[in-house]
Structure 1
C-alpha cells in the first residue's frame, strides 16, 4: 500500500504513531498544495491518503481524477472539505478519527486574553527593548456573546463566568431553556451583536452559517467590542470584516481561521494593527495529534484487513 500523509506542517506525523506496523510505502507532504490540479498530480498512484482536517479539499472534481485512491482518512469526526457522495461513487472509503475539544477552547481564551490585554504589542515592545505601549481591557463585568451554544460554546460560557463575565447566546435553534441549563441568557441575534463586549463564534460551518456575520451584524457591535473566531473563516464575511477593522468600528478581532488557508502572505488582514492572527492552530496540540495519527493508523490497518472502521456516512 502507498500512503500519503498531507499537510503535516510541523513534520511530526511519523513521530505520533506506529506507522511502520502498516508495512506500507509512506510519503509525508509538509506544505499545502497549490490547488485541485496540484492535488491530483501529486497524489496520483496513492492507495490511501491521510488528510489533516480540512486543509486540503477533496471535491468531486478531485476524487474523480484519483482512480487509485481507495481510502481517505480524515482527522477529526467531520470534514466539510470532502464530498462524501463523490467518494462513495468512486469506491473510496472515508474514515474518521477521534478528536479533542479542549485545545480549541483553550486557544479561544488565549486569543481573548491576548487581545484584551494587548499582549502581542507588549511582547514585541519588550523584544525590541521597549516597555509599556498600550492599555488593556478588563473582562470582569463585561458581556460575553456566544454565537452558538454547543459543546465548545457552552464550555466557553463557563470560562467567561469564571472571569466574572455575563454570558449571552444566540443560534438559530437555541431555546431559553437550553441556554439556562448552562447559566446563559438566550437573546435575539441583533441583541447578541449589540450587547457583546466579547463575541466568540462557535457555530459549525454550513450553508446556513456561511456569511452569517456580515456588514449588518458587524455594524451593530460596540466600538469597544472584540470579535473572536476559532470556528471557520467563512462564517464571517471577510470583506465586511476588513472594512469594519479598517474603519475602527470595533476595537479588534482575534482570528484563528480564514477563508483561504494558509493565509496568503500578502493578505490585507496581516497589515492591520487591530487584529490578532494565529495560523489555525486551535486544535494543534500534542494530545490531539496523538489521537489523530494513532486512529489514522488503526483506520488503515482495519481497511487492510477488509473491515473498515469509523466510516463517515
Structure 2
C-alpha cells in the first residue's frame, strides 16, 4: 500500500487529468480520480485523503467532519460556494481557489454576449437560417458610442470587462461595496450606488461572488428599475439572478434581452422557459474556457492543494488563518 500523500479529484467534467498528474508526480503524491455527486460519494472517495480537488461536489460540514485527515480542499475556479468555508476553517482545513486564472477569458465572454445582443447577431443568424433576410429581428439597434455599460463587481474580471467595454465605445459606471460612490476605481471606472447603476445602465454586466448578500441580487424589483432597452449579462453565478423574475421581465418586454452563461440549475433543464425566448443568448457555462485558462486552472488547483499537503503555504487560500 502506498505511503504517499493521497489526493482525490472528486469530480471534473474533462477527460484528462494530465496537468494534475504532472504536479502529483513532481511532488511524489498519489492522485486518484472519483466521480462524486453527493456528500456520501465524497466521504467514501476521500477517506484517508490528504487533499481533495473539487468542481461541483458538495463539501459540507458533514463531509469535512467525516474526513479527519483532510488538510486542503481545492476548488476548480474562483467561487467556493459549494464548500462550507466556515466549517473548514473551524476544522483547520485550508480552502483554496484560483481567483485570477480566467480574468481575460470571462471578460472576453461577457463582451461577446454583449455584442451578440447589441448588434442582434444571434437573432439575425436565426432569421437568416429560416429564410428571413430582413433587419426586423434585430431592430432597433443603437451604436455603442453614448451607451452606458454598467458593471456590478469591480474585481479583476469586472475591471477587465469595463476596460474592454470602454475600448468599444461604451461609457462605463460600476458598483462595488469595496469602493465608495463618487470615486473612480483603479481601472478607471466611475463608481456609483447600486440603484444608480441599475437605473442608468444600458448593459448590466454581473461580476460578483455568490453569497448571502448577492443571491437573487437581480430580482423583480431591480429589473423593474432598469431601462426598457437594457440587457443583463451574467457570467458569474446563476444564483445572482432570480430566473423566474428575469423570464417575466424578458417576456413582458420590460427589459430588452439577456446574455447568460450561468444558471441557477446547471445543466439548464430542457423545460426551462429561457430556451423559448428569442431575446436571450445562452452559453453552457463556457466563459471560463480557453485552452490556456483550462491548463492554468488545472495546474494551479493541484499545486495549491499539494502545497498544503506538503506543509507549505499555497499561492491562493481563502482562509489563511488555518495556516497561521
TM-score of the aligned structures, taking structure 2 as reference length: 0.80
> What stretches of structure 2 of length at least 5 have no aligned partner?
320-324
Structure 1, 36-45 or 105-114: larger mean CA deviation: 36-45
> Counterpart in 2 of 1:249?
254
Q: What is the distance in 2 between the residues matched to 1:79 and 1:178?
A: 30
Structure 2 counterpart of 1:11, from 15, 18, 26: 15
Question: 1:218 offset after TM fit, Å?
Answer: 0.3
- Secondary structure of residue in 1 paired with 2:183: helix
Contact 2:182–2:192 (CA under 8 A) maintained in structure 1? no
Secondary structure at the residue paired with 1:109?
A: helix
**1:231 corresponds to 2:236:** yes
- Give the match for residue 322 of structure 2: none
Distance 2:177 2:65 in 1: 36
Task: State the alpha-carbon separation in 1 of the partners of residues 76 and 162 from structure 2.
Answer: 27
Q: Which residue of 2 aligns with 1:266?
A: 271
How far residue 45 of structure 1 moved from its aligned partner, in angstroms, is 5.5
Q: Cα distance 1:168–1:272, how it changes in 2: closer, same or farther (>3 A)?
A: same
> SS where residue 86 of structure 1 aligns?
helix
CA distance in 2, matches of 1:49, 1:21: 17
* Post-superposition CA distance 1:55-110 (Å, at most 9, x none): 33312123233456443222346523222332244454434446321111111101
| Alignment TM-score, normalising by the size of structure 1 | 0.83
Over the aligned positions, Cα root-mean-square deviation in angstroms equals: 3.1
The partner residue of 2:180 within 163, 175, 181 is 175
CA drift at 1:195:
2.1
The count of corresponding residues between Structure 1 and Structure 2 is 309
Q: How does 1:175-194 map to 2 (within 5 A)?
A: 175-179=180-184, 182-194=187-199
165-174 or 299-308, larger mean C-alpha shift: 299-308
Q: Is the counterpart of residue 294 in structure 1 residue 296 in structure 2?
A: no
Extract unaligned runs of 5+ from structure 1. Answer: none
- Kindly indicate whether residue 151 of structure 2 is the aligned counterpart of residue 146 of structure 1: yes
Q: Does 1:120 align with 2:125?
A: no
- Shift in CA distance, 4/265, structure 1 to aligned 2, threshold 3 Å: farther
